[in-house]
Homo-oligomer: A and B are copies of this chain.
Amino acid sequence: MAKKYTKKHEVSYYECDINQTMTFPSMLGVVIKTSEDQSDQLGRGSEFVNSFGLTWVITNYSMEINRLPRVGEVISVTTQAMEYNKFFCYRNFWIHDEDGKELVKIESVFVLMDFVNRKMSSVNEEIIAPFESEKIKKIKRQEKIEKIDSGFMLPYRVRFYDIDSNQHVNNAMYFNWIIDVLGYDFLTTHVPEKVIIRFDKEVEYGNEIESHFEQIPIENGVKTKHEIRMQEQLYCEANIIWKNK
Protein backbone atom coordinates (compact mmCIF):
# COMPACT_ATOMS: atom_id res chain seq x y z
CA MET A 1 0.00 0.00 0.00
CA ALA A 2 1.49 3.31 -1.09
CA LYS A 3 2.37 5.87 1.57
CA LYS A 4 -0.15 8.59 2.32
CA TYR A 5 0.82 12.11 3.27
CA THR A 6 -1.54 14.69 4.78
CA LYS A 7 -1.19 18.40 5.44
CA LYS A 8 -3.58 20.94 6.86
CA HIS A 9 -4.23 24.24 5.12
CA GLU A 10 -6.24 27.31 6.16
CA VAL A 11 -8.09 28.72 3.16
CA SER A 12 -7.30 32.46 2.78
CA TYR A 13 -9.49 35.20 1.31
CA TYR A 14 -7.03 35.71 -1.55
CA GLU A 15 -7.30 32.05 -2.58
CA CYS A 16 -11.04 32.44 -3.09
CA ASP A 17 -13.15 34.14 -5.68
CA ILE A 18 -16.32 36.18 -5.28
CA ASN A 19 -18.26 32.96 -4.53
CA GLN A 20 -16.21 32.64 -1.29
CA THR A 21 -14.78 29.33 -2.52
CA MET A 22 -11.29 28.38 -3.64
CA THR A 23 -10.24 29.13 -7.21
CA PHE A 24 -8.88 26.21 -9.25
CA PRO A 25 -5.34 27.65 -9.44
CA SER A 26 -5.22 28.08 -5.65
CA MET A 27 -6.68 24.64 -4.96
CA LEU A 28 -4.23 22.94 -7.34
CA GLY A 29 -1.34 24.99 -5.95
CA VAL A 30 -2.07 23.73 -2.44
CA VAL A 31 -2.63 20.17 -3.66
CA ILE A 32 0.61 19.96 -5.66
CA LYS A 33 2.53 21.52 -2.77
CA THR A 34 1.41 18.52 -0.70
CA SER A 35 2.94 16.11 -3.19
CA GLU A 36 6.16 18.17 -3.20
CA ASP A 37 6.24 18.05 0.59
CA GLN A 38 5.82 14.28 0.55
CA SER A 39 8.62 13.99 -2.02
CA ASP A 40 10.90 16.14 0.14
CA GLN A 41 10.08 14.07 3.21
CA LEU A 42 11.03 10.89 1.34
CA GLY A 43 14.29 12.41 0.02
CA ARG A 44 12.87 12.57 -3.50
CA GLY A 45 12.47 16.35 -3.88
CA SER A 46 13.08 18.28 -7.09
CA GLU A 47 16.87 18.41 -6.58
CA PHE A 48 17.03 14.62 -6.48
CA VAL A 49 14.80 14.30 -9.56
CA ASN A 50 16.78 17.00 -11.40
CA SER A 51 20.02 15.13 -10.68
CA PHE A 52 18.87 12.57 -13.27
CA GLY A 53 18.17 15.35 -15.79
CA LEU A 54 14.45 14.79 -15.16
CA THR A 55 11.47 16.79 -14.01
CA TRP A 56 7.86 15.86 -13.17
CA VAL A 57 5.12 16.93 -15.56
CA ILE A 58 1.38 16.50 -14.96
CA THR A 59 -0.59 15.43 -18.02
CA ASN A 60 -4.13 14.83 -16.68
CA TYR A 61 -6.45 15.68 -13.84
CA SER A 62 -9.85 14.24 -13.08
CA MET A 63 -11.70 15.94 -10.20
CA GLU A 64 -14.88 15.02 -8.35
CA ILE A 65 -16.13 18.00 -6.37
CA ASN A 66 -18.70 17.53 -3.60
CA ARG A 67 -18.12 21.07 -2.38
CA LEU A 68 -15.34 23.58 -3.01
CA PRO A 69 -13.32 24.62 0.08
CA ARG A 70 -14.59 27.88 1.62
CA VAL A 71 -12.82 31.01 2.92
CA GLY A 72 -11.55 30.54 6.45
CA GLU A 73 -12.00 26.80 6.77
CA VAL A 74 -9.12 24.50 7.61
CA ILE A 75 -8.85 21.69 5.08
CA SER A 76 -6.78 18.52 5.12
CA VAL A 77 -5.03 17.70 1.88
CA THR A 78 -3.94 14.08 1.44
CA THR A 79 -1.89 12.62 -1.35
CA GLN A 80 -0.91 9.09 -2.32
CA ALA A 81 1.14 7.88 -5.30
CA MET A 82 -1.11 4.93 -6.13
CA GLU A 83 0.33 3.00 -9.06
CA TYR A 84 2.79 3.26 -11.91
CA ASN A 85 3.69 1.50 -15.15
CA LYS A 86 6.57 1.98 -17.55
CA PHE A 87 5.76 5.62 -18.30
CA PHE A 88 2.91 6.86 -16.12
CA CYS A 89 2.50 7.49 -12.39
CA TYR A 90 -1.03 7.69 -11.00
CA ARG A 91 -1.36 9.95 -7.97
CA ASN A 92 -4.51 10.73 -6.00
CA PHE A 93 -5.37 13.74 -3.86
CA TRP A 94 -8.22 14.22 -1.40
CA ILE A 95 -9.41 17.37 0.32
CA HIS A 96 -11.39 16.85 3.53
CA ASP A 97 -13.13 19.34 5.79
CA GLU A 98 -12.72 19.51 9.57
CA ASP A 99 -15.43 16.88 10.07
CA GLY A 100 -13.54 14.46 7.83
CA LYS A 101 -16.04 14.86 4.98
CA GLU A 102 -14.55 14.48 1.51
CA LEU A 103 -14.85 17.75 -0.40
CA VAL A 104 -12.77 17.04 -3.47
CA LYS A 105 -11.04 14.00 -4.96
CA ILE A 106 -8.44 14.47 -7.68
CA GLU A 107 -6.85 11.73 -9.76
CA SER A 108 -3.76 12.77 -11.68
CA VAL A 109 -1.23 11.39 -14.11
CA PHE A 110 2.45 12.34 -13.71
CA VAL A 111 5.24 11.62 -16.18
CA LEU A 112 8.97 12.20 -15.95
CA MET A 113 10.38 14.44 -18.65
CA ASP A 114 14.01 14.84 -19.69
CA PHE A 115 14.45 18.58 -19.37
CA VAL A 116 17.14 18.82 -22.04
CA ASN A 117 15.35 17.13 -24.94
CA ARG A 118 11.83 17.77 -23.46
CA LYS A 119 10.93 14.09 -24.13
CA MET A 120 9.12 11.72 -21.83
CA SER A 121 11.38 9.38 -19.89
CA SER A 122 10.53 5.93 -18.56
CA VAL A 123 9.80 5.84 -14.84
CA ASN A 124 13.00 5.75 -12.78
CA GLU A 125 12.71 3.19 -9.96
CA GLU A 126 15.21 5.02 -7.79
CA ILE A 127 13.02 8.12 -7.84
CA ILE A 128 9.76 6.40 -7.01
CA ALA A 129 10.70 3.45 -4.78
CA PRO A 130 10.16 5.28 -1.43
CA PHE A 131 6.54 6.10 -2.32
CA GLU A 132 5.76 2.35 -2.35
CA SER A 133 3.33 2.64 -5.24
CA GLU A 134 2.05 -0.52 -6.86
CA LYS A 135 3.68 -1.47 -10.16
CA ILE A 136 1.08 -2.30 -12.82
CA LYS A 137 1.36 -3.44 -16.43
CA LYS A 138 -1.69 -1.74 -17.76
CA ILE A 139 -1.92 1.82 -19.06
CA LYS A 140 -5.00 3.29 -17.40
CA ARG A 141 -7.31 4.88 -19.92
CA GLN A 142 -8.35 8.41 -19.04
CA GLU A 143 -11.95 9.43 -19.51
CA LYS A 144 -12.54 10.74 -23.01
CA ILE A 145 -12.66 14.53 -23.35
CA GLU A 146 -15.31 15.68 -25.80
CA LYS A 147 -14.21 18.16 -28.46
CA ILE A 148 -15.86 21.50 -29.12
CA ASP A 149 -18.37 21.46 -31.99
CA SER A 150 -19.10 25.16 -32.23
CA GLY A 151 -17.84 27.58 -29.67
CA PHE A 152 -16.56 31.01 -28.83
CA MET A 153 -13.11 32.17 -27.81
CA LEU A 154 -11.15 34.91 -26.09
CA PRO A 155 -7.41 35.53 -26.50
CA TYR A 156 -5.06 35.67 -23.47
CA ARG A 157 -1.42 36.67 -23.32
CA VAL A 158 0.78 34.54 -21.06
CA ARG A 159 2.05 36.87 -18.32
CA PHE A 160 5.28 36.93 -16.32
CA TYR A 161 3.48 35.80 -13.17
CA ASP A 162 2.01 32.81 -15.04
CA ILE A 163 5.47 31.22 -14.90
CA ASP A 164 6.13 29.94 -11.40
CA SER A 165 9.30 29.07 -9.55
CA ASN A 166 9.33 25.69 -11.31
CA GLN A 167 10.39 27.69 -14.39
CA HIS A 168 7.46 27.01 -16.67
CA VAL A 169 3.82 27.95 -17.03
CA ASN A 170 2.11 26.27 -14.11
CA ASN A 171 -0.64 23.86 -15.26
CA ALA A 172 -2.94 25.39 -12.67
CA MET A 173 -2.73 28.70 -14.60
CA TYR A 174 -4.55 27.14 -17.55
CA PHE A 175 -7.62 27.31 -15.35
CA ASN A 176 -7.37 31.12 -15.36
CA TRP A 177 -8.06 31.09 -19.09
CA ILE A 178 -10.55 28.22 -19.00
CA ILE A 179 -12.66 29.70 -16.24
CA ASP A 180 -12.45 33.36 -17.21
CA VAL A 181 -14.13 32.93 -20.61
CA LEU A 182 -17.32 31.70 -18.93
CA GLY A 183 -18.00 35.16 -17.52
CA TYR A 184 -19.30 36.61 -14.28
CA ASP A 185 -22.98 35.67 -14.67
CA PHE A 186 -22.23 32.02 -15.41
CA LEU A 187 -19.61 31.73 -12.68
CA THR A 188 -21.84 33.15 -9.96
CA THR A 189 -24.81 30.92 -10.81
CA HIS A 190 -23.07 27.56 -11.40
CA VAL A 191 -20.97 25.28 -9.23
CA PRO A 192 -18.44 22.80 -10.67
CA GLU A 193 -19.07 19.11 -9.93
CA LYS A 194 -16.64 17.31 -12.18
CA VAL A 195 -13.59 18.32 -14.19
CA ILE A 196 -11.49 16.34 -16.64
CA ILE A 197 -8.52 18.06 -18.20
CA ARG A 198 -5.57 17.02 -20.34
CA PHE A 199 -2.41 19.06 -20.91
CA ASP A 200 -1.09 18.24 -24.39
CA LYS A 201 1.66 20.75 -24.99
CA GLU A 202 3.44 23.39 -22.91
CA VAL A 203 2.44 27.03 -23.33
CA GLU A 204 5.37 29.44 -23.03
CA TYR A 205 5.88 32.96 -21.70
CA GLY A 206 4.85 35.62 -24.21
CA ASN A 207 2.54 33.30 -26.18
CA GLU A 208 -0.93 34.57 -26.94
CA ILE A 209 -3.27 31.65 -26.51
CA GLU A 210 -6.93 31.27 -27.49
CA SER A 211 -9.33 29.98 -24.86
CA HIS A 212 -12.18 28.30 -26.77
CA PHE A 213 -15.35 27.11 -25.08
CA GLU A 214 -18.81 25.72 -25.68
CA GLN A 215 -21.78 25.35 -23.29
CA ILE A 216 -24.19 22.44 -23.51
CA PRO A 217 -27.32 22.27 -21.34
CA ILE A 218 -27.68 19.06 -19.33
CA GLU A 219 -30.16 18.02 -16.65
CA ASN A 220 -29.90 20.45 -13.68
CA GLY A 221 -26.84 22.08 -15.13
CA VAL A 222 -24.42 22.71 -17.94
CA LYS A 223 -21.48 20.90 -19.49
CA THR A 224 -18.71 23.17 -20.71
CA LYS A 225 -16.05 22.05 -23.18
CA HIS A 226 -12.74 23.87 -23.35
CA GLU A 227 -9.73 23.98 -25.65
CA ILE A 228 -6.61 26.09 -25.28
CA ARG A 229 -5.22 26.55 -28.77
CA MET A 230 -2.59 28.48 -30.61
CA GLN A 231 -2.56 28.60 -34.42
CA GLU A 232 -4.73 25.49 -34.79
CA GLN A 233 -2.47 23.57 -32.40
CA LEU A 234 -4.16 22.11 -29.31
CA TYR A 235 -2.40 22.79 -25.98
CA CYS A 236 -5.01 21.75 -23.43
CA GLU A 237 -8.57 20.38 -23.41
CA ALA A 238 -11.13 20.06 -20.65
CA ASN A 239 -14.75 19.21 -19.90
CA ILE A 240 -16.51 20.54 -16.81
CA ILE A 241 -19.90 19.54 -15.41
CA TRP A 242 -21.64 22.36 -13.55
CA LYS A 243 -24.80 22.23 -11.51
CA ASN A 244 -27.12 25.20 -11.15
CA LYS A 245 -26.67 27.06 -7.85
Contacts and interface: CB of A to CB of B under 8 A. Distances in A.
A165 B29 contact: no
Interface residues of A, number: 36
Interface of A: 12-20, 23, 25, 29-30, 32-33, 36, 71, 159-161, 163-167, 170, 172, 176, 179-180, 182-184, 187, 205-206
Given A14-B172, A17-B164, A160-B183, 11 more contacts: A13-B33, A13-B36, A13-B164, A14-B165, A17-B160, A17-B161, A17-B163, A18-B167, A23-B161, A71-B165, A159-B176
B33 A165 contact: no
The 6 closest A-B pairs by CB, nearest first: A14-B29, A16-B165, A159-B180, A13-B165, A71-B165, A18-B163
B165 A179 contact: no
A161 B176 contact: yes
Contacts of A17: 160-161, 163-165
A33 B14 CA distance: 8
A187 B159 CA distance: 12
